[in-house]
Structure 1
Amino acid sequence: MADTAAARTRLAALKVAPAGTMAGYSRARFTHWAEQGGKCDTRETVLKRDGRDVAQDAECRAVSGTWKSLYDGVVVTDAGKMDIDHMVPLAEGWRSGASGWDAARRKAFANDLTHPQLLAVTASSNRSKGDQSPDLWQPPDRASWCQYGRAWITVKSSYELTVTEAEKKMLTTMLDTCAS
């Protein structure tokens, strides 16, 4: 993930454009939770990566562990109460450039374990966020704004997605919470 200075540079370089249309969008057009090997799909891989002391069964499902949700600071010990959030939601990706991608690029975006695109968070915080951009939804735990903004910018920049004027303004506010 980009540090604060790099995130500011990347944010300045992002193309500002109005949100695109949702015409043609379907979550199914983004093949997600792809197989990652060893019976593990993307969801289980992220739960293992983001948790502490995670034990998995023979099918790779997390059966125990501890997770701390970035968005609300809640600590969870039941994997069933965790969602895997797409930092830049699939629908938001669609509105900001993914509508022009081929199926392989959409699948890579939906299963990206390299960039900070996937994060284990509480189901309630993920559902509260929905497909909203930072100008419309911010993590309730303000202490997470720096990391959230840096992650959002890293993903948008890596995939050459656009930002709206309001989104860019809120991302600047989020970066302003970072320690210098």
Structure 2
Amino acid sequence: MKSVFIVSAVAALAAAAPLEKRTPPNIPTTSSANTLLAGLTVKAQGSQDGYSRDLFPHWITQSGTCNTRETVLKRDGTNVVTDSACASTSGTWKSPYDGATWTAASDVDIDHVVPLSNAWKSGASAWTTAQRQAFANDLTNPQLAAVTDNVNQAKGDSGPEEWKPPLTSYYCTYAKMWIKVKSVYKLTITSAEKTALTSMMGTC
């Protein structure tokens, strides 16, 4: 009886606080990420010519009135309340990049872990609009994360060779996410990018 109670209590706690859901999905293990990194094609970055964010239709409707941004806000936040238009009216968001906590959705950006322009220069320029839309709204892979807005703006379209999360304790997870996304979409990496990712994986 006691073991049943413990199992029930654990299940209740898991249901009340699904912490594993407050993070991007499908982050690989360290060994898997290292294997994926070794399999990425290293080549010089392509041209920015022709790039526009409009070529990556983002924040599309996901369910009902909820678009991709609102869906990620609900996924990554705690006690998120939304109105009839799916806008977050309250909740708490802890930004994994810098550890800051916010209670207003307006203080939170949804970061494309692999920036759209970086993707363009590493293979996405050859994609169809439908493929770019899928990339920009990917809820299956660790490509979208709710983070502090000005930290996201500081990152811009930089790769890990130029920008890393302020929290060094997040280097490992960030590198795993970046590697997974690049691998899933068969995007290339530069030699400097690989060096940075290898260094970050060394913190795992």
TM-score normalised to the size of structure 2?
0.87
2:176 is equivalent to residue 150 of structure 1: yes
> 1:15 — aligned with what?
41
Could you tell me which of 74, 80, 85 is aligned with 2:106? Answer: 80
2:148 is equivalent to residue 128 of structure 1: no
User: Pairwise mapping of residues 1-180 of structure 1 onto structure 2 (< 5 A)?
Assistant: 1-178=27-204
Q: Give 5+ residue unaligned stretches, structure 1.
A: none
Structure 1: distance between partners of 2:96 and 2:122: 24
Q: CA deviation at 1:38?
A: 1.4
Q: CA deviation at 1:162?
A: 0.2
The residue type paired with residue 188 of structure 2 is: T
Q: CA deviation at 1:37?
A: 1.4
Structure 2: distance between partners of 1:2 and 1:28: 30
The residue type paired with residue 16 of structure 1 is: V
Structure 2: distance between partners of 1:93 and 1:158: 12
Q: CA deviation at 1:73?
A: 0.7
Q: What is the number of residues matched between the two proteins?
A: 178
Q: CA deviation at 1:174?
A: 0.8
Q: CA deviation at 1:2?
A: 1.1
The alignment-based identity, stated in percent, is 54
Structure 1: distance between partners of 2:69 and 2:182: 21
The residue type paired with residue 77 of structure 1 is: T
Structure 1: distance between partners of 2:133 and 2:94: 27
Q: CA deviation at 1:145?
A: 0.4
Q: CA deviation at 1:150?
A: 0.2
CA RMSD of aligned residues (A): 0.5
After the TM superposition, list the runs of 4 or more consecutive aligned residues in structure 1 that deviate by more than 2 angstroms. Answer: none
SS in 2 for 1:15: coil
SS in 1 for 2:92: strand
Structure 2: distance between partners of 1:63 and 1:84: 16
Structure 1: distance between partners of 2:200 and 2:102: 26
The residue type paired with residue 172 of structure 2 is: C
Structure 2: distance between partners of 1:10 and 1:38: 36
Q: Give 5+ residue unaligned stretches, structure 2.
A: 1-26
